[in-house]
Structure 1
Amino acid sequence: MGIVKDLQGSSELVLNLTRREIKGKYKRTALGQLWSLANPLAAMAIYTVVFAFIIRVQPDPGDPSGLNIFALWLLCALLPWTFFTNVVNGGMGTLVGNENLIKKVYFPRIALLVANSFSWMFSWSIEMVVLVLALLIVGSNALVWLPLAVVFMALMSLFATGVSLMLSVANVHFRDTQHFVGILFQVWFYLTPIVYPVSLVADQSERLGPLFGSVTLLDLYLLNPIGQFAEVFRNLLYDNRWPDLSTALACAAWSLGAFFLGYALFKRSEKGLAEAL
């Protein structure tokens, strides 16, 4: 595979870049890596107050776990979403941010994007460990499903890296990309079942009926890849059951498709990156 050849002689470079990214995120801060927990926990607290106590969104209890804790239900989808946006936002600005390095020395440019993904995977792993511990404390059987959750974490990392590869090149040629993506993420967040259950969309879809032909609002809504990942993580960690096979296969397809498309587009543009910068 091309990417293996690209990184085969650059493993030390990727490792050093990953270390630089991890250390640089919270350099000279008092809490250090604890900030990787503080940000999602603060978001969880805000969304829990707004959606659980003010708007009173009530997702179904975990099946078969029986859990009925909105904050943990929320975190099972919020943490993957936060990881995805961090990888894409970080990767999108990586080439521009390392302009001087790219112009001075030749090395596989993809190493910068891979290191960015690895650094955020490190932070996400810490967050997920804390989430699993919280789930175990309240009686969830999440530990049994953790190995499968790790597999889907790897798949989501591939998906996020693929998207960041595409957008990093776009951002080199069109610097407004990062601003468009910022707006897109605001819309995408509320189009994803993170702070509300899919059942609310299903009810609205049933009231509206088919939009055209036999296609319903729910059919279009379920095309959202992050929504499918959110469903899988909730099934595994909160519900403690196997995800639907169709949802699991869709996640794998989105991941591999986005990664290989992103890699192909990145390689096609790689030779002209220094000049474009």
Structure 2
Amino acid sequence: MLLGRRFDAEESPRRVLDLTLRLTQRSVSSEFKGTALGRLWSFINPLATVAVFALIFGVIFRGSVEPGRYSGIDSFALWIGIGVICWNFLSAGVINGMNALVSNAGLLTKVYFPRQVLVYSAVGALVVDFLFELVVLVGISLIAGGARVLLMLPVLLVVTVLTAMFATGLGMVLAIATVYFRDISHLWQIFNQVWMYASGVVFSLSMLDQVQNQLFDRGWAFNGRPIPITMLFRLNPAETFLEAFRSCLYDFAVPSLGVSLACVAWGVGMLLVGRLIFRRYSTRIVEEL
């Protein structure tokens, strides 16, 4: 049995990793079970996403961003497609991690195992799916801008890992909160919609610069200067991760030092905070469930 044996109170990292991998494998293998196309959906979904945004923002509502620095790509649809797909990965990771304990309440009350593996495996399964989606995005960027994007593959993997670490840490915090306060999951659905638009998924920060200057011309100021709207948006960790992905896939450039350090700080920091909070408050999970 996968969960048949009892784990010691102090779980070794090896045992936690082993169970996490097993649960992740089970989630991945069952995701497209019973479908005709199976794993091909991992390629079809991102292609459909980019196609839809190409139609909406490339034909109907024409938008624009600056061409990629080294790629020369000038496609607002691809720019938005990268943002949407990468945002979906981060957002789904947080939501799946948040619901990992409540959705497995029956399992938690029947057998003992390290509770954190439910969050780890929930995000881990999404990482596997996202890697397939990255293959599609890299392929589109390769066709649109050339082979230089292949040099960005190691950086993309690092950014993906850091994003998964951030989603896991925040998911662990929200998972604990959801066990004790079930309204959290409903409130998060509302916040998540606001968070998406605050992350620059469908608009560039250069647009905010224009808004910032327009407000200043109308008398909206902070200490005699324009309201730092762009700076406030850059404090958003999701915007930072999206900027890193776009730098690799759209500009064909390594993210700037500031963005890179911010990604490391958010990823590592949130995972550490999540682990600390989870370890402190997870002892009464079964009682609350």
Please report the TM-score for the alignment, with normalisation by the length of structure 2.
0.88
Q: 1:218 to 1:211 in 2, by over 3 A?
A: farther
Partner residue, 1:248:
260
Secondary structure in 2 aligned to 1:208? helix
Deviation of the 1:5 alpha carbon: 5.4
Partner residue, 1:169:
176
Question: What do the CA deviations read for 1:55-77 (whole angstroms, capped 9, x no partner)?
Answer: 32111111121111233222322
Assess if the C-alpha contact under 8 Å between 2:49 and 2:81 holds in 1: no
Q: 1:171 to 1:6 in 2, by over 3 A?
A: farther
Assess if the C-alpha contact under 8 Å between 2:155 and 2:254 holds in 1: no
Assess if the C-alpha contact under 8 Å between 2:120 and 2:168 holds in 1: yes
Assess if the C-alpha contact under 8 Å between 1:163 and 1:258 holds in 2: yes
1:226-245 equivalence runs, <5 A: 226-245=238-257
CA distance in 2: counterparts of 1:154 and 1:68, whole angstroms: 28
Deviation of the 1:200 alpha carbon: 0.5
CA distance in 1: counterparts of 2:126 and 2:249, whole angstroms: 21
Deviation of the 1:269 alpha carbon: 1.0
CA distance in 2: counterparts of 1:170 and 1:243, whole angstroms: 34
Question: What do the CA deviations read for 1:92-145 (whole angstroms, capped 9, x no partner)?
Answer: 111011112211222111111111111100000011012112211223311011
Assess if the C-alpha contact under 8 Å between 2:64 and 2:75 holds in 1: no
Q: 1:10 to 1:263 in 2, by over 3 A?
A: closer
Q: 1:46 to 1:137 in 2, by over 3 A?
A: closer
Partner residue, 1:263:
275
Partner residue, 1:16:
22
Partner residue, 2:222:
212
Partner residue, 2:162:
155
Assess if the C-alpha contact under 8 Å between 1:7 and 1:111 holds in 2: no
Partner residue, 2:4:
none
Secondary structure in 1 aligned to 2:235? coil
CA distance in 1: counterparts of 2:236 and 2:145, whole angstroms: 31
Q: 1:45 to 1:139 in 2, by over 3 A?
A: closer
1:46 pairs with one of 48, 52, 59? 52
2:282 partner amino acid: E
Moved more, 208-217 or 123-132: 208-217
CA distance in 2: counterparts of 1:97 and 1:52, whole angstroms: 40
1:121 partner amino acid: V
CA distance in 2: counterparts of 1:171 and 1:271, whole angstroms: 15
CA distance in 2: counterparts of 1:130 and 1:212, whole angstroms: 44
CA distance in 2: counterparts of 1:238 and 1:123, whole angstroms: 21
* Structure (1 or 2) with the larger CA radius of gyration: 2
Secondary structure in 1 aligned to 2:250? helix
Moved more, 62-71 or 149-158: 62-71
1:195 pairs with one of 194, 198, 202? 202
Which runs of no fewer than 5 residues in structure 2 stay unpaired?
A: 1-9
Q: CA RMSD for the aligned pairs?
A: 1.9
Secondary structure in 2 aligned to 1:98? helix
Q: 1:52 to 1:100 in 2, by over 3 A?
A: same
Fraction of identical pairs, as percent: 37
Assess if the C-alpha contact under 8 Å between 1:211 and 1:217 holds in 2: no
Assess if the C-alpha contact under 8 Å between 1:51 and 1:195 holds in 2: no
